[in-house]
Amino acid sequence: MGTVHARSLDPLPMHGPELGVQADDIEAPEIEQQPRQEVLENKDVVVQRVHIDGLGRTKEDLLSYEIAEVFRAKNLIDVMRRSHEARQKLLRLGIFRKVEVVIDTSRGEDALPNGLDVTFEVTELRRLTGSYNTMVGNNEGSMVLGLKLPNALGRAEKLTFQFSYGTKETSYGLSFFKPQPGNFERNVSVNAYKVTGQFPWSSLRETDRGVSTELSFPLWKTNQTLKWEGVWRELGSLGQTASFAIREESGHSLKSSLSHAMVIDTRNSSILPRKGGLLKIHQELAGYTGGDASFLKEDFEIQLNKSLIWDSVLSGSLWGGLLLPIGDKPTCIADRFYLGGPTSIRGFSMYSMGPQSEGDYLGGEAYWAGGLHLYTPLPFRPGRGGFGDLFRTHFFLNAGNLCNLNYGEGPRAHLKKLAECIRWSYGLGIVLRLGNIARLELNYCIPMGVQSGDRICDGFQFGAGIRFL
Amino acid sequence: MSLAAEAFVSQMAAAEPWPENATLYQPLKDDQILLSDHASSLSVQAYLRMCGLPVQVVCRANAEYMSPSGQWCRNWALGYFAGHSLSDALDDVQRAEMKAYMELVYNMLLSAELYLQWCDDATAVEISRPRYSSPYSWPLGKILAYQKQWEVRRKMNAIGWGGKTLEQVYEDVSQCCQALSQRLGTQPYFFNKQYVFCLPSCPCCLYGHVAAMADRLLKSNLTYFLNQQRDYLACLKLIHQRKAGHCCGVCKT
């Protein structure tokens, strides 16, 4: 009888939402050449048993969904392919540090001549993992402590706690995440948090204490999220010089909202995609489940990418949003939209356009913004195939507008208002991709269509962020 | 407690002419405002009106949070007063004396008001907490009211009022009023007769606190306490008359 060792094919393809597995947590398997003693490739085989070795806290029933497909394999190649898929599924649960697959011929009394046993040798992550970071930004330094129970109850539930202690503000959050066994994309999460933010462009300080519950599930080609959020918001002015409009907004409010988000993402990468598109629609209804704030908020994001010659990519995106107050109360500054900055309309200062009072930006109830980029590799392509591939040069053209609407006037007047006084800018710069979550940009911008009151950033502008126009 | 009296300080340096649209923001008059805020608001209004400075009063549920420093009208009153050229009318001794009386009023009467509002359980449950939380929806209102109560109680403990009984507080207030009555004696003004309208901030802050307190205490059937203060009530009446005479009866009690 022959022995075949099958090992996985590639190190670790990771997809899907935040799975909690850091690339460092998982060791890349070495490819070993094992001498074959018999060619089994075309023989029909039966997978008789699947073993999982190394389980401690993990409940077996969770894994049986993930490995069920292995039993359906009909020949050796199939066994290897399905085992590989099962391995990927196991890794995606985010509870194993390492998963190895061993395929062997069946032994024992009831062993069939063409029977195979598949063994998954897994190494679980530690019961409790911790992290420690320091961050500097927004004129503030902070220390972030994180604690995570990656497999809290044995069925890939994750309990995460993050605490950020800053020179000015302290924030923390606790979140519990539970996937449906056998269907990782379908999951529930519950969060409780306190976040404090300072927004110097509005001379505003906001402290949010809230709880939220989220349900995510795939539907056809989309990913849907339903969410309820209850937030106690405390607004205050930042310093003595805040304008009176900001001081009028100060105080406490309670927002209870139901929201729905739909995402279709066919891009090959979320930061510097070469092809594919993104459609994101988000809607939020506040006030029907209690709370002081009542509004309907709609916004969308579209991005399309097209590859051109010489590895260059043409990318176009469009954002838009509308905030409708319900009832007599005007909208709250914390709910309105903001525009401008190195990651939206470049050439303008961060969130510094549109309605304002004594230099404090108040945000708008309607906005749109569009961007057109031509990404090319660096000139002369230094560091090609390595470090240089993290960089791109880009030429961009951004445009947009942010304003308040008088809802009595009708759609024609609204469109007219959004179409007049358009802010736009163009320029070029360098983009650096940071992992697959964020990017840095250094741009030379030329702002145009500047309206009185807008704060511009003529010339070089540096920005970092995770959402880009 | 922190009335947004500073709302108009930002619009006004002491040397500048009084703005026409000066506005005093205070908590909602019918449902929300508590004794101490009401008193502070009345003090400021009385002062301004006796100075002949027009002010518009606007009720806002978030008035407490509108002041960026969180300080209330006391600092404002003193600051403006000090910067006012008419303060030259008093000599140093009188000015110091007046400041001392104002401090007495603030320290004693305001603390007593806060004690009654938040440390007396019956008042806190029946009046203060429901009123304080009235503009907010559940459960935020409850949280804020308890937070406020906790804050005030901590402050009371810090100034040594934590262990006092209601009777002791009444006794303190009574003593404070007696001191003021003695200062007043039989004359109708606290300070120089000639300048009563120029320098009314002392009687005004007094007026605000005492009037507000009298109002509430009478409602709580605690008239016995005020009956002991006849002299003082007489003084109050005078201030009323003066105010009424001077500013066309803008303040009513």
Give me the DSSP letters along A56-91. Answer: SSS-HHHHHHHHGGGGG--BHHHHHHHHHHHHHHHH
C-alpha distance from B178 to closest chain A C-alpha (Å):
39
CA distance A301 to A282: 9
CA distance B25 to B84: 23
Q: Are A247 and B67 an interchain contact pair (Cβ–Cβ within 8 Å)?
A: yes
Q: Say yes or no: A199 and A55 in one domain.
A: no
| Phi, psi for A309 (deg, rounded to 5) | -70, 165
CA distance A308 to B233: 89
pLDDT of residue A137: 64
Domain limits for position A281: 180-465
Residue B229: name the closest of B240, B220, B218, B219 by CA: B218
For a pLDDT cut of 90, what percent of chain B falls above it?
5
Q: Say yes or no: A113 and A215 in one domain.
A: no
pTM of the model: 0.76
| Phi, psi for B169 (deg, rounded to 5) | -65, -45
Least confident of A51-55, A167-171, B25-29, B190-194: B190-194
In a domain, A218, yes or no: yes
Under DSSP, is residue B134 helix (H, G, I), strand (E, B) or coil?
coil
In a domain, A31, yes or no: no
Q: Are B137 and A248 an interchain contact pair (Cβ–Cβ within 8 Å)?
A: no
If one counts the domains in chain A, the total is 2
| Phi, psi for B188 (deg, rounded to 5) | -80, -15
Is A328 at the interface with chain B, CB within 8 A? no
Is A292 at the interface with chain B, CB within 8 A? yes
In a domain, A52, yes or no: yes
C-alpha distance from A386 to closest chain B C-alpha (Å):
53
Q: Say yes or no: A404 and A266 in one domain.
A: yes
pLDDT of residue B212: 58
Residue A179: name the closest of A202, A200, A152 by CA: A152
CA distance B141 to B138: 6
**Chain B residue with the nearest C-alpha to that of A231:** B140
CA distance A468 to A438: 9
Which residue, A91, A124, A157, sits at the end of a domain?
Answer: A124
pLDDT of residue A37: 56
Residue-level pLDDT, tens digit, chain A, 469 residues: 333 343 333 333 334 344 444 444 444 444 455 555 555 566 788 888 888 888 888 888 888 888 888 888 888 888 888 889 888 888 888 888 888 988 888 887 888 878 888 888 888 888 888 888 887 765 677 888 999 998 888 888 899 999 998 887 889 999 999 998 888 889 999 999 999 888 888 889 999 999 999 999 999 889 999 999 999 999 988 888 888 888 888 899 999 999 999 999 999 888 888 889 999 999 999 988 888 889 999 999 999 999 988 888 999 999 999 998 988 888 889 999 999 888 889 988 888 888 888 889 998 998 999 999 999 988 887 877 778 788 889 999 999 998 888 767 777 877 888 888 888 999 999 999 887 778 888 999 999 888 888 888 888 988 888 888 8
Q: In terms of pLDDT, which residue wins out, A330 or B197?
A: A330
Q: Are A244 and B10 an interchain contact pair (Cβ–Cβ within 8 Å)?
A: yes
Q: Say yes or no: A357 and A288 in one domain.
A: yes
C-alpha distance from A172 to closest chain B C-alpha (Å):
19
Say what the ipTM of the complex is: 0.72
In a domain, A152, yes or no: no
pLDDT of residue A416: 81
The model's pLDDT over B127-181, given as tens digits with 9 standing for 90+, comes to 888 888 888 988 899 999 999 999 999 999 998 888 888 888 888 877 877 777 7
For residue A101, the domain's CATH number is 3.10.20.310
* CA B244 remoteness from chain centre: 19
Q: How many CB atoms lie within 10 A of CB B91?
A: 10
Q: Say yes or no: A89 and A197 in one domain.
A: no
| Phi, psi for A185 (deg, rounded to 5) | -70, -20
Q: Say yes or no: A257 and A108 in one domain.
A: no
Mean pLDDT of chain B: 66
Q: Say yes or no: A116 and A206 in one domain.
A: no
CA distance A131 to A123: 20
In a domain, A438, yes or no: yes
Q: Say yes or no: A187 and A119 in one domain.
A: no
pLDDT of residue A34: 53
In a domain, A185, yes or no: yes
- C-beta of residue A294 within 8 angstroms of C-beta of residue A286: yes
Residue A378: name the closest of A400, A402, A394 by CA: A394
Pull the structure tokens for residue A329. Answer: 């109360």
Which residue, A95, A124, A153, sits at the end of a domain?
Answer: A124
A293's CB contacts (< 8 A; 6+ apart) are A253, A254, A255, A256, A257, A286, A287, A329, A332, A335
In a domain, A337, yes or no: yes
Scored b (16 or more CB within 10 A) or e, B66-79 reads bbbeeebbbebbbe
CA distance A413 to A411: 5
Q: How many CB atoms lie within 10 A of CB A255?
A: 25
pLDDT band at B195 (very low <50, low <70, confident <90, very high): very low
Is A236 at the interface with chain B, CB within 8 A? yes
From the list B4, B60, B140, which residue is nearest A254 (CB)?
Answer: B140
For residue A418, the domain's CATH number is 2.40.160.50
CA atoms within a 13 Å half-sphere pointing along the CA-CB vector of A80? 12
In a domain, A216, yes or no: yes
Q: Are B66 and A236 an interchain contact pair (Cβ–Cβ within 8 Å)?
A: no
CA distance A353 to A341: 9
CA distance A279 to A276: 10
Q: Say yes or no: A214 and A316 in one domain.
A: yes
Q: Say yes or no: A272 and A392 in one domain.
A: yes
